[in-house]
Structure 1
Amino acid sequence: MSSVSNSAVSSPSDVHRTSKETLCSSCGLCSIKEWPSKESIQSCVFKTGWLGAQEARIFGRERSLESFEEMRFGISKSRFTARLKQPIPDSQWTGIITQICLKAFQSGLVEGVVTLHHSEEDIFIAEPVLAQTAEDILAARGNKPVLASTLSSLEHAYRLGMKRVLVVGAACHVHVLRDFQRRFPYLNSMDIFVIGIPCTDNVKPKRLRWILERISSSHTTVRHYEFMQDFNVHLKHENGRLEKVPYFSLPQELSQNGIFAPSCMSCFDYVNSLADITVGYLGAPFNKKDMRQWIMIRTEKGQELYNLISDELDTFAETRSGNAKDAVKMNTERTIEQMKLGDKAPVKTGRRIPIWAGKIITAMMSRFGPKGLEFARYSIDFHLMRNYYYVKLNYPNQLHIVPKHVYKVLEEYEIAP
């Protein structure tokens, strides 16, 4: 690896601190009783590491560090943006993931879908489910921005003797699943298809309510929220009202260390690179009218899943505009300095800037800032570098989980590893 020049970020060697909280994304595999939990633990991504050998096993090679896009977005057969011609009501976007799941089930390609439902007790508590009816699949619509034990539903599929299963999960779920199926015999007879969701910065359910209280004007009526490409947090309320809060006007408490789950701060696969197909919004241009999503077909199985609904989609080529590099570097360096203070960081309250001022900045960023693939680069690069420093500072003995391309990204920004 080439050396990098010094930057505004000083060496972290004098601020190492070991966190007492074990890295765990609560993926759910360890809770399964059909095999020893000690075997499930062996496949934990925080033991095996992100990407690397697993990527090579799936694709026959690791991602190219010489490819600007592949290094960030992972290996794929094709990438594009799309929307359903007939959106599914109450979906987060137009319902592409839901429609794939429905068609896979109704066509007999799979016997069940491992996914999540909203809890009746609290919409922001996710409950693992093995969906075995169209109604169960439709009930899984919408984002669940919290840690979730999705893989625990594999126990039900295993007990039923299912041979073909579709799993919808985050990157931590997919890494564990891929390794476990390769390492142990229990799921060898199960043909598993995987839809990956790009995922970052989840929180524990109880912490989420605390966050919503500080963001929203009516936190009790929020039904889902998303950090969007127009530099606003979009909060949808139970009456259909859409509330937008500029990133730049978020409460300063949300910059405190410890807001997000340690497992999410130690994630290095935002775009779910080991899935058969990844469906999200990150690289799609923002347009509230057509609600496009970003699709990355990664494997033959992913192509098979996509083909189920291809004639129901409007598809578009990827686009890119703007330059995110300076903004990423500035934001990363500021965040790293905050992390290095740890518990000594001053606790600030109130909004960073008033909402009216935040809206002006947001309007300018939406017009002149990074869009499409450049927005994806903005978010991916920031999270890779921030998370590297989080592990470096809090879990220095677990730097083996960091994949090679993270060091290349640090080098590009002249931020010392």
Structure 2
Amino acid sequence: DKNSDNSNSAQWTGCVTAIAASMLQTNMVDTVVCIATNNEGDWTQPEPILARSVKDVMRGRGVKPALAPSLKVLDAIRTDPSIRRLLFCGVGCAVQAFRAIQHELGLEEVYVLGTNCADNSPTPKAAREFIQKGMKIDNSQKVRGYEFMQDFRVHVKIDDGDGNVSYVKKPYFTLPGSIAEPSIAPSCLACFDYTNGLADVVVGYMGAPLEGEMDKSYQTLAIRNAKGESMVQAATDQNLLQLGNIAMGSGASHEKFASTTVSSDSIILALTGGDVKEEGVPQWIGEALAFILTSAGPKGLNFARYSIDYHILRNYLHVLDSWGEERIIKDSPIPTYAMNIVQ
């Protein structure tokens, strides 16, 4: 699905922004919780805000790659009698925490708009260092965001300051092996909610075909219930969202790809005493690998399934190493659906 307005400065095509803005415009909600950048406008510095206008919502455009204090605004919500109908936007960990306490906020209506999420940086500094050390992009370039894409490359979005956007793309395999561990928050290595299962509707890119750059490609909408349907309908009625076809999967078996990826993952190699290479493969080899895997590997929903399985397998091994099998059996920290994939 695409935002027909193609909102400027959005990470993708502005689907999340379109849904949030339309819900304010149609008075479905009076307030939106979203993540903006701090007062300095640093794209790596997330700051939750209470958006009461479309202009406020626009401050939340673009992905912030570090852990965000999404629940920081809860006291302000609870003590403000003008907030009756709320839209909460967030990744899985924030949504789980919000759902656990939403009944204490005294709201008349609550909607939750989620995004898919796999790995976040533990701090803004770690996100910047991934760009500098992993992608070899210096501070002089104005980075707007990055994603690990379906073509097995990291895409970094760069703004030249005059509104012109370009992309630096680097195959996963060329990244330094040592960059993964400091770039991923420990909490993300114990997360099994890539799909953001408690949101009413979830926006993500993994299950969609990759067509050109990220600001021109389709996204996938997972609509879970009647509330989610009404949220999407509000955006389409306002001509802010254009719906495409039902998402489909094709290509190679996602199970085999997931197992192979885990076996070569630098974090897992470190856990098992394997050799973590400081440097990635040469650029030309990385490009060849990315081309072959994109051509022969899982596509569409199968790529999404591959990504989910890979992260669940990797995180299971991390939790097993950190907690031990006895504690896992006793405390059951891993959801049943995740254990079904592991088994």
Q: TM-score surpassing 0.5?
A: yes
Q: Which amino acid aligns with 1:234?
A: H
Q: Which amino acid aligns with 1:142?
A: G
Deviation at 1:238, TM superposition (A): 2.1
Deviation readout 1:41-60 (Å, 9 max, x if unpaired): xxxxxxxxxxxxxxxxxxxx
State the match for 1:205 in structure 2. 124
Deviation readout 1:188-224 (Å, 9 max, x if unpaired): 4342110011011111212112211122342322221
State the match for 1:314 in structure 2. 243
**Matches of 1:407 and 1:371 in 2, distance apart?**
24
State the match for 1:111 in structure 2. 30
Question: Paired residue for 2:277, among 348, 359, 365?
Answer: 348
Query: Number of residues paired by the alignment?
Result: 323
Deviation readout 1:2-22 (Å, 9 max, x if unpaired): xxxxxxxxxxxxxxxxxxxxx
Instruction: Output the aligned Cα RMSD.
Output: 1.9
**Matches of 1:217 and 1:263 in 2, distance apart?**
26
State the match for 1:158 in structure 2. 78
Partner SS state of residue 199, structure 2: coil
Deviation readout 1:268-322 (Å, 9 max, x if unpaired): 1101011000011110011126410000111211111011022431311212111
Partner SS state of residue 210, structure 2: coil
Partner SS state of residue 147, structure 1: coil
Partner SS state of residue 243, structure 2: strand
- Per mean C-alpha deviation after superposition, the further-off stretch among 330-339 and 354-363 is 330-339
- Flag the 1:225–1:250 CA change in 2: closer, same or farther, 3 A: same
Deviation at 1:101, TM superposition (A): 0.7
- Flag the 1:325–1:346 CA change in 2: closer, same or farther, 3 A: closer
Partner SS state of residue 43, structure 2: coil
Alignment of 1:218-367 (within 5 A): 218-220=137-139, 221=141, 222-239=143-160, 240-255=165-180, 257-288=181-212, 290-311=216-237, 312=239, 313-323=242-252, 324-335=254-265, 337-341=268-272, 348-350=277-279, 352-367=280-295
- Flag the 1:259–1:102 CA change in 2: closer, same or farther, 3 A: closer
Asked if 1:123 is matched to 2:43, the reply is: yes
**Matches of 1:353 and 1:223 in 2, distance apart?**
26
**Matches of 2:236 and 2:179 in 1, distance apart?**
40
Q: Which amino acid aligns with 2:229?
A: Q
**Matches of 2:5 and 2:126 in 1, distance apart?**
36
Can you give the 5+ residue segments of structure 1 that lack an aligned partner in the other structure?
A: 1-81, 412-417
Partner SS state of residue 392, structure 1: helix
Partner SS state of residue 314, structure 1: coil
Cα contact 2:205–2:219 (8 A) shared by 1:
yes
State the match for 1:404 in structure 2. 336
Cα contact 1:171–1:271 (8 A) shared by 2:
yes
Cα contact 1:276–1:297 (8 A) shared by 2:
yes
Cα contact 2:62–2:144 (8 A) shared by 1:
no
Cα contact 1:339–1:390 (8 A) shared by 2:
no
- Structure possessing the higher relative contact order (Cα contacts under 8 Å, 6 or more residues apart): 1
Asked if 1:379 is matched to 2:307, the reply is: yes
Percent same amino acid at aligned positions? Answer: 34
Deviation readout 1:71-129 (Å, 9 max, x if unpaired): xxxxxxxxxxx112231122111111101111111111111110111124332010111
Q: Which amino acid aligns with 1:160?
A: D
**Matches of 1:84 and 1:214 in 2, distance apart?**
33
Deviation at 1:346, TM superposition (A): 5.4
- Flag the 1:353–1:134 CA change in 2: closer, same or farther, 3 A: same
State the match for 1:46 in structure 2. none
Cα contact 1:268–1:384 (8 A) shared by 2:
yes
Can you give the 5+ residue segments of structure 2 that lack an aligned partner in the other structure?
A: none
Instruction: Using structure 2 for the length normalisation, give the TM-score.
Output: 0.89
Deviation readout 1:134-154 (Å, 9 max, x if unpaired): 111011100111100112122
Q: Which amino acid aligns with 2:148?
A: F
